[in-house]
Amino acid sequence: MSVEIPDRNKIVRSSIITVTLMSIFLVLGLLFWAWSSPGITTPVTVLNDINETLVPIIEILLMFLFFVFATVTVVNFRLYLSKVRAGWTEIIGMLIVVLVVSWLMFGQWVGIFSTVFSFGFVVYLYLLQD
């Protein structure tokens, strides 16, 4: 990784984009969670009628994308405030947050698979450092 610190304007612009995308994926995840109510016809019940594995895959993808953009937001925020790149503590902390949120919202298996894919992204970030 580069040791150069980008201009503060670039950090702010990047943060606005990542916060927006993070919020979109979190809201979509919350909508999927709310639409999972039994007894009413929602997009989730329609997708379950088409294929039962489609909804958990979408939920895993939403939580993974939330993790990616939340992690980039945390890294940008730390860089903006202290001009020091975020350490692994912040990234692992976000991994734990996504595990807890996805586990509570969608259940055990979505939480586990979201965490596995998110951990794969953390490994990718680690490999980028070399």
Reported as a single tens digit per residue, the pLDDT across 52-85 is 899 999 999 999 999 999 999 998 888 888 887 7
Chain centroid offset of residue 108 CA = 17
3-state secondary structure of 52: coil
Say what the pLDDT of residue 70 is: 94
Token code pair at residue 56: 């958990």
pLDDT for res 130: 64
CA distance 30 to 87: 29
Mean pLDDT of the chain: 88
Q: Vertex 127, ends 78 and 122: CA angle to 5°?
A: 55
In 3D space, the residue among 67, 111, 73 whose CA is nearest the CA of residue 92 turns out to be: 67
Please give the biggest Cα pair distance in the chain. 55
Domain parsing of the chain, residue ranges: 8-129
Summarised one tens digit per residue, pLDDT across range 80-108 is: 888 877 778 888 999 999 999 999 999 99
Distance CA 57, CA 55 (A): 5
Query: How much is the pTM?
Result: 0.86
- Highest mean pLDDT out of 22-26, 36-40, 91-95: 22-26
